[in-house]
Structure 1
Amino acid sequence: MGTSSPEPLLICEHCDTVYRRRRLSRGDVAQCARCHAVLERHHGMSSNTLLALVLTAMIAFTQANLWPIVTLGLNGQYSSATLWGTIITMWQQQAQVVAVIAAATLFFFPLIKMLSFGWLYWFARDGRRAPGFVPIMVTMHYLGPWTMSEVFVLGALVAIVKARVYFEVTPDPGIYAYALLTLMITVFASVDVRRLWDTTAERPA
């Protein structure tokens, strides 16, 4: 007896309802009929396009961490602050927990996610699974909610507005780089990385 390849299935993460996966057209969104959660979205970007976006995000990420975020002035004296300068200051002022959380969510987690994204799609160009595919996919699943660059940008903008009451505040290039990085992260969030399980194949032993 011959064996046919199983039909691709899609399982709702919220209510465990099982569906047969169908090819989505541009703009289509698959939604669970039971709990109305979004199952997947169509995206027409190729692996090469996604790799270019990863490179752009890495450049913005590097600039955001090297350039000053804001400059504060008072009585003719000015002080610029970078992300890591702020984290180090918090650590020295006995706020180690806040410093560790800021370093993890604003630097290490986004960096790991972008590197993993680029690594997976570099091999996906040829329809192959990258070395370490399974642990990387699991790691990206758990890191998803912990990349908080967009929260940082919004918080920084609110702080800049409030600080203008007491200081001369000048936004520096770092905050604009973080704004660009936030847009890139939003684009990545719209890409269903889980499709790589279906569109890539394991390398032959």
Structure 2
Amino acid sequence: MRIACHECDLLQQLPPVPLGGTAKCLRCSNVLYRHKHDSLNRTLAFSLAGLILLSIANAFPFLAFKMQGQVTETRLITGVFDLYAQGMLVLATLVLLTTICIPAVQLMLLLYVLVPLKFGRIPWRFPQTFRLLQSLTPWSMMEIFLLGVLISIVKLVDMATIVPGLALWAFALLIVMLAAAASSLDPHDVWSRVRYRT
């Protein structure tokens, strides 16, 4: 298989890489490829766990505020509605896309691609779907949202009692699952499986 270096654009033949090994560019020594162990199954497991955690994060309370005997529960979508109610439509849309929609689409696309490959089939419109999946990955910014939530908790802790909900823990674990799925996914392995089947 021929591959272009992402650093110096040298087109070169990719040699067979042993499990756990790496192939480096002949010109600049940039890493071209890492052969990841059991990439398909590990990515599939992380994606399924991520989808379950995303469902929990959206179904259960995110935070509960106790102040002067009153309890207010918030959900993940509540922040989007509050931003919209305050006239911040662009920010509300951005939060909705980067914390709920794009991670959900990313996980569903991963499952759409990986489940058929696991059973030796090629999903319909595979090239377009897989390229869309790779282009969406940088737009998932849940860790920034979680950081903002944690900063808000620190600022509000003197004014009210804040109780983390199940959704907050699920959201934090979801970030870990998405990062693990992205790091365990081996695009070369996916493409080679498709070439083998065609």
Query: Structure 2 length normalisation: TM-score?
Result: 0.87
User: Do the aligned residues in 1 keep the contact of 2:20 with 2:37 (CA within 8 Å)?
Assistant: no
Partner of 2:98: 105
Determine the structure 1 residue equivalent to 2:174. Answer: 181
Bigger relative contact order, structure 1 or 2, given CA contacts below 8 A and separation 6+? 2
Taking the aligned partners of 1:104 and 1:35, their CA distance within structure 2 comes to 38
State the match for 2:149 in structure 1.
Answer: 156
Residue number among 72, 75, 82 corresponding to 2:65 in the alignment: 72
Per-residue displacement from partner, 1:80-138 (whole Å, max 9, x unpaired)?
11111221121111111111001111111111111111111112124432101111122
Correspondence for 2:11 among 13, 18, 36? 18
SS of match in other structure, 2:195: coil
Superposition RMSD in Å: 2.3
CA shift at 1:37, angstroms? 4.9
Cα distance, 1:195 vs structure 2:
3.2
| Counterpart residue number, 2:190 | 196
Change (3 A) 1:53 1:91: same
One-letter amino acid of the counterpart of residue 198, structure 1 = S
Tell me how far apart the structure 1 counterparts of residues 21 and 196 of structure 2 sit (CA, whole Å): 29
Aligned residues of 1:47 and 1:122 also touching (Cα < 8 A): no
Q: 1:90 to 1:16 in 2, by over 3 A?
A: same
Runs of 5+ unmatched residues, structure 1: 1-7
**Cα displacement (A) at 1:76:** 1.7
CA distance in structure 2 between the partners assigned to 1:124 and 1:159 by the alignment:
43
1:89 matched residue in structure 2: 82
Q: Is residue 58–residue 114 contact of structure 1 (8 Å, CA) maintained in 2?
A: yes
Counterpart of 2:122 in structure 1 is 129
Note the alpha carbon deviations across 1:157-203, whole angstroms, 9 max, x for none.
22222221322111111110011101111111112334322222386
Instruction: Summarize the Cα distance change of 1:192–1:164 in structure 2 as closer, same or farther, 3 Å threshold.
Output: same
Separation (CA, whole Å) in 2 of partners of 1:29 and 1:202? 22
Judging by fraction of residues, say which structure has more helix: 2
Q: CA deviation at 1:73?
A: 2.0
Amino acid paired to 1:112: V
* TM-score calculated relative to the size of structure 1: 0.84
Residue 134 and residue 45 in structure 1: after superposition, are their counterparts in 2 closer, same or farther (change >3 A)?
Answer: same
* Structure 1 residues 35 and 66: CA distance shift in structure 2, 3 A: farther
Provide the C-alpha distance between the structure 1 equivalents of 2:29 and 2:147, rounded to a whole number of angstroms: 29
Aligned to 1:115: 108
How big is the shift at 1:141?
A: 2.1
SS at match of 1:78: strand
* Secondary structure, counterpart of 1:44 in structure 2: coil
CA distance in 1, matches of 2:25, 2:155: 43
In structure 1, give the amino acid aligned to 2:123.
A
